């Protein structure tokens, strides 16, 4: 996110989508529902919006298609589900949940994931559903080149970004969910950190739940989501200390940028980022919803 590259109306639309997402997730928690159900619902709302690079708003690949990735993790038992390189699935996060709940696997990709989706009656949509003029124009600028773009790169003002949610429920369980359309003009079946448990998504009741966004290759190499948890578990860091160490030091040292959202089992929340901005929102019981973009 780069300040000054947004219209007032578009900024309001993004904030409204974030608020709708967090309210949908919080309603589940308020009614005694699980953290897993809450993060799945919150991410589903964002996948249904064309404003974010996930689900309906996914960016175009080099072939002019849409390849989506998603993952979800339950901190109470460390069960997880993830999908990569899927097409035509309306809500990838719901398919990731099916992998977690209804298979003996964690990560399914490509044709196999699509075959599993059919067996689970997951909702599919025509390719036209994913068409967005801004995303298309953005792809046209670098089509037929070897370039690809991150969803928060400075020169591009119409593609933000990977979506995610973390939650703590009334039973003290945490969960995390992450979904993305990847990089514009990506080739060779590229997969980022979003569906990788421990890199872009992680949850453990002993420590915290984490969902990441940013330069995926670096978040994979830094095993970022798990790194936050490990600093809490093995070094005794607070949630904020651990997240800041990873985002504002470790990931920068290897050349990566981005941010994360995290909640621990005590209900502490942190949302650090080393870019100019990151769309984020939080709702704590008894408090007003907070939505922010810039530092």
Catalytic entry in 44, 61, 145, 162: 162
Say if residue 160 is exposed, middle or buried (CB neighbours under 10 Å; 0-12, 13-18, 19+). Answer: buried
Angle, helix 92-102 to helix 35-47, in steps of 10 degrees: 150
> Is 164 within 8 Å of 43 (Cβ atoms)?
yes
Cα–Cα distance measured from residue 216 to residue 255, given in angstroms and rounded to the nearest whole number? 11
82 pairs with which residues across the strands? Answer: 71, 107
- Active-site residue flag, 180: no
Contacts of residue 249, defined as CB under 8 A and 6 or more positions apart, other chains included, come to none
DSSP string, 257-274: -EEEEEEETT--EE--BS
Question: What's the token pair of residue 208?
Answer: 């915290």
* 245 CB neighbour count, 10 Å cutoff: 17
Q: What tokens appear for 220 in the block?
A: 């994979």
Residues designated as active site: 162
């Amino acid at each position: 996110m780069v300040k000054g590259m947004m219209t007032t109306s578009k900024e309001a639309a993004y904030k409204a989508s974030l608020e709708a997402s967090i309210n949908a997730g919080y309603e589940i928690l308020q009614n005694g529902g699980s953290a897993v159900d809450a993060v799945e619902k919150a991410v589903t709302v964002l996948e249904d919006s064309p404003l974010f690079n996930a689900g309906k708003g996914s960016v175009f690949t080099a072939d002019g298609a849409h390849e989506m990735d998603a993952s979800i993790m339950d901190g109470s038992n460390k069960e997880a589900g993830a999908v990569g390189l899927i097409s035509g699935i309306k809500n990838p996060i719901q398919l990731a949940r099916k992998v977690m709940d209804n298979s003996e696997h964690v990560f399914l990709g490509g044709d196999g994931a699509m075959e599993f989706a059919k067996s689970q009656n997951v909702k599919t949509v025509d390719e036209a559903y994913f068409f967005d003029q801004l995303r298309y124009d953005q792809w046209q600028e670098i089509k037929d080149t070897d370039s690809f773009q991150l969803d928060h790169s400075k020169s591009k003002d119409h593609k933000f970004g990977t979506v995610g949610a973390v939650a703590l429920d009334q039973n003290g369980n945490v969960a995390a969910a992450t979904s993305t359309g990847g990089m514009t003009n990506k080739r060779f079946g590229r997969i980022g950190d979003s569906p990788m448990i421990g890199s872009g998504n992680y949850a453990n009741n002993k420590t915290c739940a984490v969902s990441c966004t940013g330069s995926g290759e670096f978040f994979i190499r830094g095993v970022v989501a798990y790194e936050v948890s490990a600093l809490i578990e093995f070094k005794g860091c607070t949630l904020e200390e651990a997240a800041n160490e990873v985002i504002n030091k470790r990931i920068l040292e290897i050349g990566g940028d981005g941010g994360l959202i995290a909640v621990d089992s005590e209900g502490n929340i942190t949302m650090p980022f080393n870019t100019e901005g990151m769309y984020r929102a939080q709702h704590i019981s008894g408090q007003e919803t907070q939505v922010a973009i810039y530092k």
